Amino acid sequence: MLKRFFLLTLLFISIPGFSQKKLSLIYTGNMGVYITDDQSSVLIDGLHTKYGDDYLFPPSALVHKINTQLQPDVILFTHYHGDHFSTELAYNYLASNKKAVLFGSDQITKEIKNFENRLFTISTTDYTKRTVKIKNLKITGVKINHVGKRHLSVENVGYIVNFGIRKILHVGDTNWMKEINLFNQLNLVNENIDIAILPYWMLLEDNATALIKKNINTKQIIATHISPKIKKQELEDMRERYPEIHFLTTLEQRIQL
């Protein structure tokens, strides 16, 4: 009987997905996140420099840690604004990590010279999704319009990173954009998203919970792009309104997902 018990235990452990592996997330500033399952890792919007007092950014010590310790397999950028992307830091990362690859729109990838065979350009002519397999990851990029009329020319890319155990959505700088039926065109509700990383302003609408359920249907939300100058009461009010949401506000803040 005891022998049978141990055999069954080994069988269950060996079944893919039976032992629920955890994902780890480290906050790197503004909308920057490093995510790993201890086999593969991605860094999204995680290499940028000081853009203004309203934006957290990775200081040199954290950039060094990214380059030499965290060493993400893939660096992804949603768009070229300075609070999301640095040409110099991205170039330096690819130069020092020979197997790493980069994803971005044409406005991003055209800035990176000498690494053409390690660049994946996501088209933003329409809402067609592109999926690329990297190690045990499936990374899908898709155009998601940038918020604000003055940024109509900005090529903003959203990403779905599939670790096998969980799917993570990162939307960059967008909003609900009901005027163009954005999320109807994206059809994200059928992607089985487990975790959505959103700019905090998408939570400010009165019916935000219903919009999230209707348009993304995610199991978990992480709020980003929170200014270090945000009023304490405003942040506390959001946390009280959404007690189940993680609000990223401190550099190297860690979350087990």
**Domain locations in the chain as residue ranges:** 22-241
pTM, entire model: 0.92
C-alpha to C-alpha distances, 253 to 39, 75, 167, 228, nearest whole angstrom: 21, 19, 21, 14
Secondary structure of 64-113 as H, E, C letters: HHHHHHHCCCEEECCCCCCCCECHHHHHHHHHHCCCCEEEECHHHHCCCC
pLDDT digit of tens for each residue in the chain (257 aa)?
444 544 444 444 444 444 457 899 999 999 999 999 999 999 999 999 999 999 999 999 999 999 999 999 999 999 999 999 999 999 999 999 999 999 999 999 999 999 989 999 999 999 999 999 999 999 999 999 999 989 989 999 999 999 999 999 999 999 999 999 999 999 999 999 999 999 999 999 999 999 999 999 999 999 999 999 999 999 999 999 999 999 999 999 999 99
3-state SS string for 112-169? CCCCHHHEEECCCCCCCCEEEEECCEEEEEEECCCCCHHHCCCCCEEEEEECCCCEEE
Alpha-carbon distance values, 194 to 12, 161, 170, 257 (Å): 24, 10, 11, 10
Question: Can you give the pLDDT at residue 13?
Answer: 42
Tokens of 254: 């860690």
**pLDDT score of 7:** 43
Q: What is the DSSP letter of 1?
A: -
* 218, 158, 85, 43 alpha-carbon torsion, rounded to 10°: 50
The distance from CA 216 to its chain's CA centroid, rounded to whole angstroms, is 15
DSSP 51: -
Question: Rounded to 5 degrees, what angle do the CA atoms 34, 139, 14 make?
Answer: 85
| Residue 18: per-residue pLDDT | 42
| pLDDT value for 21 | 73
pLDDT of residue 20: 57
Does the domain spanning 22-241 belong to CATH 3.10.129.10? no
Q: Which residue has the tokens 């219903």?
A: 210
Q: Parallel, antiparallel, or unpaired for β 220-224 and 137-143?
A: unpaired
Listed in sequence order, the residues at least 6 apart from 121 whose beta carbon sits closer than 8 Å to its beta carbon are 104, 105, 106, 108, 109
**pLDDT at residue number 152:** 87
75 in Cβ contact with 90 (< 8 Å): yes
